Amino acid sequence: MEVINNVQQNRFEFHIDRRIAKIIYEIKNDKYYLVSTQVPKELSGQGIGSKLIKETLEQIENMGFKVVAICPFIQAWFKRHPEKAYLQADS
Stated as kind and residue range, the H or E segment containing 32 is: strand 31-38
Q: What is residue 65's predicted lDDT score, i.e. its pLDDT?
A: 97
DSSP-H helix ranges across the chain: 48-62, 72-80
Arch. (CATH architecture) of 4-87: 3-Layer(aba) Sandwich (3.40)
* Per-domain boundaries in the chain: 4-87
pLDDT average per 10 residues of sequence, the chain (91 residues): 94 94 96 97 91 97 97 97 95 74
Q: What is residue 91's predicted lDDT score, i.e. its pLDDT?
A: 74
Residues 6+ apart with CB under 8 A from 29: none
Q: What is residue 90's predicted lDDT score, i.e. its pLDDT?
A: 85
CA-based end-to-end distance of the chain? 30
